[in-house]
Amino acid sequence: MTKPTSFPDNPSSEPELLATGKGPLIALTSIFFLNFLSRVTLAPLLVAIEKEFQLGHQEAGILVFIVTGGYSLSLFCSGYLAARMVHRKIIFLSALGVGFSLLVLSLSGDIRLVRFVLFLLGISAGIYLPSGIVTLTSLIKPKDWGKALAVHELAPNVGFFLAPFLAEAFLQWGSWRWLMAFLGTASILLALNFKAVGRGGNFRGEAPTKEIVRSMLRTPSLWIMMFFFGLGIGTSFGVYNMLPLYLVAERGIPRGWANTLIALSRISGIFISFLAGWFVDRWGVKKALVLIFILAGLFTFFLGIAPSGWIIPLVFLQPFIAVCFFPAGFTALSQIGPAGSRNVAVSFAVPLGFILGGGAFPVLIGWAGERGSFAWGIMLVGLITLAGAPLVRWLRLAKDKIS
């Protein structure tokens, strides 16, 4: 494949103007929204899927792990793909693959096929993030990364909010399969639109050669960020995936009301991410991370131990803090290593973070629920998250970036 002559291979030499980056920012955020919504919608559908396929709580948690496994594997290998294909094409193929996976999922009648297609869904979704982040940061000045990444993080926050409403609407109207078909069609249309009018990403990433991989693995801050992303993903994505089962099976809340509560609790994330982005740019990444880990850990712990009268307030408070991690986390990750290998840092830290937070944590919570106490699993996630705060002091970021 021939490289476009009008765009250089070095992302740092592309336009760095926030004003001219608004269009690409909106386009990338839209694709990320469908990418994320396609995976997070599984959570409010788990009660119905459990019933249709006669699954246990732990088996339902494994479905989440399967998507996460595919997503993490794809993320980890994305650096090799980005070295051979421009980021723009990778973004297009990701949205297209997500769409077709969802359409096949809507027609799957066997649980084995469901598991296989969920893995393919994770594979398709996973190649987006490194290319999306690199494309975005190549178009915007480093001093504005916190704010721009906060806009990008609107995608998961809006997805968290809409998923339960969409799930409940389609469950009342027909079936979870119709929702999969709807999202799949939307993702395909968005992919075709991006191919036609999208901007940015007309350069390849730096190949994760042995030297680069060895250098990355010798960087303690990258290992710390892997763990941090596990905590951030676990307190937001991981807890969210198992929260409907927890509220319905253990707290006795009707499914419709539980999904409504979870959806409403995510409204704050749409706005708080902007405040988090501003806080990162104003006060620094490290201060933001310490505060986030302390508050997210405490609220997650109390979500499991709270008496009935406090459970609803904590359903709202816990995600209010948890979503603040991502503007800070991606800003910190963008400050590890040179610009050309930035996608490699993302493809290392995020997949391992997803395996821990988006895969192991839901299985842990489901395992605890299978044994009569979702609460203990959620409380343990909260305690692990608190361990992130003292580790921030060991994080080392590039001196020429925001710290």
| Token representation of residue 200 | 């940015």
- Give the H or E element holding residue 29: helix 22-40
Degrees to nearest 5, angle at CA 35 with 33 and 38: 100
Residue 101's pLDDT is 95
Determine contact, residues 153/326, Cβ cutoff 8 Å: yes
What pLDDT is attached to residue 148? 78
Q: Name the domain count of the chain.
A: 1
Which among 145, 127, 128, 129 has a CA at the least distance from the CA of 12?
Answer: 145
Rounded Cα distance between 7 and 219, Å, is 30
Full domain range(s) for residue 222: 15-394
Structural domain includes residue 141: yes
Give how far Cα 244 sits from Cα of 26, 67, 69, 357, 379, Å. Answer: 31, 18, 21, 17, 16
CA distance 326 to 303: 21
Check residue 338 and give its pLDDT: 61
pTM more than 0.85: no
Grouping H, G, I as helix, E, B as strand and the rest as coil, residue 330 is: helix
Express the helix, strand and coil content of the chain in percent, nearest 5 each. 80, 0, 20
Phi then psi for residue 57, to 5 deg, are -65, -40
CATH code, 233: 1.20.1250.20
pLDDT tens digits in sequence order for the chain, 403 residues long: 333 333 333 444 343 334 445 677 788 888 999 999 999 898 888 888 888 888 877 788 888 889 988 988 887 787 788 888 888 899 999 999 999 999 999 998 888 899 999 999 999 998 998 888 888 877 777 777 777 777 887 888 788 888 888 998 898 888 889 999 999 999 999 899 888 877 777 788 766 677 777 777 777 888 999 999 999 999 988 898 889 889 988 888 898 888 889 888 888 777 777 778 778 878 888 888 999 999 999 999 999 998 888 999 999 999 888 888 988 888 888 787 665 566 677 777 878 888 888 888 988 998 898 887 889 999 999 999 999 999 998 888 764 343 3
Distance CA 175, CA 177 (A): 5
Burial class from Cβ neighbours inside 10 Å (0-12, 13-18, 19+) for residue 49 reads middle
Is residue 241 included in any domain, yes or no? yes
| Domain assignment of residue 234, yes or no | yes
Residue 56 forms part of a structural domain? yes
Strands (E) in 72-227, as ranges, are none
Whether 2 maps to a domain, the answer reads no
